[in-house]
A and B are shown apart, each in its own frame.
Chain A
Amino acid sequence: MTNAQQVTSEILSIEPVGSYYHVVFSAPSIAEFVEPGHFVAVAVGGVGSAMLLRRAFSIHRATPGHSIEVIFAAHGQGTEWLSTTRRGDLIDIVAPLGTPFALPNQPIGAVLVAGGYGAAPMGMLAQALRERGCEVEVILGAATETKLFGVLDLARDADSVTVTTDDGSSGLRGRVTDALPNAIERINAKVVYACGPMAMLKAVARVASEHGAFSQCAVEESMACGIGVCMTCVLPVIGDDGVTRMVRSCVEGPVFRGDRVRWDDVHTVPSDVFGAPVVGGH
């Protein structure tokens, strides 16, 4: 576990990009420890806010000694509030949090798949993979063009980028998983990295397995603390011993091996899970 730090950060900039906002937080003591897949937990609403819980965002970029960046969608109260902050505002952040993407030791082919703001961590990841000599293909998907993020940046960081939209407003009409088999075969990929909605992750994990590739999926579960103390963020994950446990996605995740997550059982307590209730009493 990387040690997380709680710091008062200054907003260095906040700009709308398409359907999202791009924020740069000053984080001189944090940035050097950030790896692709780490997240930051941001306090919202200001001092004494009625919103007690932090909001979690994937770290999009980290500039050592300087800052970390996130891409967020304003949909609920807390993210709406965040969208009204201005350069120079002070915000309490905790980072880096979570278990990042596992990187290969060999220069293998890797496909990166992202839905919507799930593209946020992919630039850092693509760079880290290319530094290891990996060939990197990216597939970016969204419902519609304005919800795509990072197409131009990823075109620079990766060997190739394929875009899909549900409505065909940009790139291929369809889902990211429609483009995935070809991408895996083209570069003989051994690993697929994914970040996006749960339904997408589930489909990506399946397609990756069918094509003999590992998958590393960054999940998004409701989190109250983000630091591993509350047990709200759990999902059923199969361990090395073959036993399924309700595992914290904020500490053991958010990145999990796609073949280990019981995707069909998320939001349930499977009857064979470790410590499951037994019929007729515990």
Chain B
Amino acid sequence: MSVDLSTSLGSLHLKAPTLTASGCAAAGRELAQFGDVATLGAVVTKSIMLQPRSGRATPRMAETPSGMLNSIGLQGPGVEAFIEKDLSWLSQNGVTTVVSIAGETTAEFAELAARLSNVPGIAALEVNISCPNVESRGQVFACDPYAAADVIAAVRREWTSDAPVLAKLSPDVTDIVSIAHSVREAGVDGVSMINTLLGMVIDVDRMKPLLGGRTGGLSGPAIRPVAVRAVYQVHAALPDLPILGMGGIRTGHDALEFFAAGASAVSIGTVVFGDPRAPWRVAEELSSELASRGYSAVRDVIGLAHR
């Protein structure tokens, strides 16, 4: 039986159900050695900022059981070089591209949205609000419903393209549903969830936190049940809000859990580091998981666990 794997995130039609995750596939080019990136649902690019950024000191990673911590610190070339080098490569190669943006102030997010609005080749904008707000003593935007809504409203005002705007939510909150509510009120077309959970590893030989940035974001299969729970809760509260689900997806079976919980598409992040073909493999496995259960389209299982 052939399974229809096409899906959509709001107005964005996706030919395949698996996307890359921001920060886990750079801007797609390196993955092209392992498969045709144009056949993926989309490449979600590493969060880009207005200015070039060096990132944090190394070590920037620590492997943990079924996961890892990272503290990259949003290293990147800045939006102008990104448009010139990365976006142009993605467009030339026919890749569906979701651009992730990050800022340290609401104004910076707005400026990025304005700059990118007229740039061709952007299928959706993912607003990474899991960054520290320098105007609020480093409090993460995504952890405060007002700050999160402010950023989204500011992006919305500047974003003149028809491509959908997604807010990327952090799981490090008491109530993720209330954050989803407030970004929806502020005008997002969908949410991406989840970002990493804050963690730490201590090097007991040096008696110091192991990572150069001291804390880091936990990702990988270790966080998957947290992610499935978060997707389920948000879909239950806001069934019409499209969700790009992610967090530890390793197999087609894992992906199916996210769809059943209410995701309309999924991103594959950390698992790519161990298996660069994972975004393609997970889509193939998902197809067999659906077929073996008698489903003919991935769209038919979205939110099924809520019946």
Residue ranges of A at the interface with B (Cβ–Cβ < 8 Å): 1, 3-6, 43, 50-54, 92, 94, 221-222, 224-235, 245-246, 251, 266-269, 273-277, 281-282
Contacts and interface: CB of A to CB of B under 8 A. Distances in A.
A221 B58 contact: yes
Interface in B192-248: 212, 220-221
A224 B68 contact: yes
Contacts of A231: 23, 26, 46, 55, 60, 72, 75
Interface stretch (B145-153, B265-273, B299-307): B265-273
Given A222-B58, A229-B31, A275-B75, A282 B273 contact: no
B58 A53 contact: no
A53 B275 contact: no
Contacts of B271: 52
B134 interface: yes
Nearest to A271: B54
A136 to B, nearest CB: 33
Given A229-B31, A230-B273, A52 B57 contact: no
Given A273-B54, A274-B52, A275-B52, A230 B274 contact: no
Give the top 3 A-B pairs by smallest Cβ distance, nearest first: A275-B52, A225-B273, A275-B54
Contacts of B77: 275
Nearest to B25: A229
8 contacts: A52-B68, A53-B61, A228-B30, A230-B70, A233-B60, A246-B55, A282-B49, A282-B134
Interface string B27-60: 0001101100000000000100101111111111
Contacts of B72: 230-232
Nearest to A270: B54
Contact of B26 (A1, A229, A269): A229
B16 interface: no
Contact of B276 (A94, A221, A267, A268): A94
Contacts of B270: 52
Q: Interface majority SS on B: helix, strand, loop or mixed?
A: loop
Given A245-B54, A246-B75, 16 more contacts: A50-B66, A51-B63, A52-B274, A221-B58, A222-B60, A229-B30, A230-B24, A230-B273, A231-B72, A267-B57, A267-B59, A269-B55, A275-B51, A275-B53, A276-B54, A282-B134
B104 interface: yes
A53 to B, nearest CB: 5
B66 A52 contact: yes
A70 to B, nearest CB: 18
Given A92-B275, A224-B273, A275-B75, A232 B61 contact: yes
A269 B59 contact: no
B48 to A, nearest CB: 12
Contacts of A267: 57-59, 212
Contact of A281 (B25, B75, B134): B134
B136 to A, nearest CB: 13
A273 B212 CA distance: 16
B282 to A, nearest CB: 14
Nearest to B50: A282
B115 interface: no
Nearest to B59: A222
B22 to A, nearest CB: 11
Contacts of A234: 55, 58, 60, 75
A229 to B, nearest CB: 4
B54 A246 contact: yes
Given A43-B275, A229-B24, A234-B75, A50 B65 contact: yes
B94 interface: no
Contact of A224 (B51, B52, B61): B61
B220 A251 contact: no
B30 to A, nearest CB: 4
